Structures are given as structure tokens and as C-alpha cells.
């Protein structure tokens, strides 16, 4: 899978999770990146590191889809 395809897939999932709540979009992006990195979806912020570059790319793409 190409990087751009990955970003799009993760961003779309985050937008779906957030639904109409734009205020939840950042949290949902963080959660999908966490799931991608660790293999499971966390319900709350986790202290484990996530890829900040990936998170920001997914967040920016998700925002552009609103």
C-alpha cells in the first residue's frame, strides 16, 4: 500500500468515527493511528508513542474531507 493510500484510508476511518462532531476529529485521528501502530483501538489516550508525522498527515487530510 502506498503512503498516500494509507493516509486516505486512516483519515476516512477517523472522519467516520467522528461523525458530525468536528471537535472529536483530532481524537479519532489519534485513535486510528494508534490502532495502525499497535494493532488495537484504545478508548482513551495511551501513553505509548505514535508516529507524529503520520498523525499530522492523517489529521490534515481528515480536516480537508469535512
Locate the domains of the chain by residue range. 3-64
Residue 43 dihedral angles phi and psi, to the nearest 5°: -90, -20
pLDDT tens digits, 4-40: 999 999 999 999 999 988 899 999 999 999 999 999 9
Looking at residues 55-65, what average pLDDT do you find? 95
Cα–Cα distance list, 5 to 9, 31, 41, 43 (Å): 6, 18, 20, 25
Mean pLDDT of 50-63: 95
Does residue 47 surpass a pLDDT of 80?
no
Closest CA to 41 of 51, 52, 29: 29
Q: Which pTM was predicted?
A: 0.89
Which pLDDT score, from 0 to 100, does residue 32 have? 95
Contact (Cβ atoms closer than 8 angstroms) between residue 54 and residue 4: no
Amino acid at each position: 500500500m502506498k503512503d498516500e493510500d494509507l493516509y486516505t484510508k486512516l483519515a476516512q476511518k477517523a472522519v467516520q468515527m467522528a461523525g458530525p462532531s468536528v471537535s472529536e476529529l483530532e481524537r479519532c485521528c489519534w485513535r486510528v493511528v494508534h490502532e495502525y501502530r499497535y494493532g488495537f483501538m484504545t478508548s482513551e489516550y495511551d501513553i505509548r508513542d505514535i508516529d507524529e508525522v503520520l498523525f499530522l498527515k492523517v489529521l490534515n487530510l481528515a480536516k480537508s474531507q469535512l
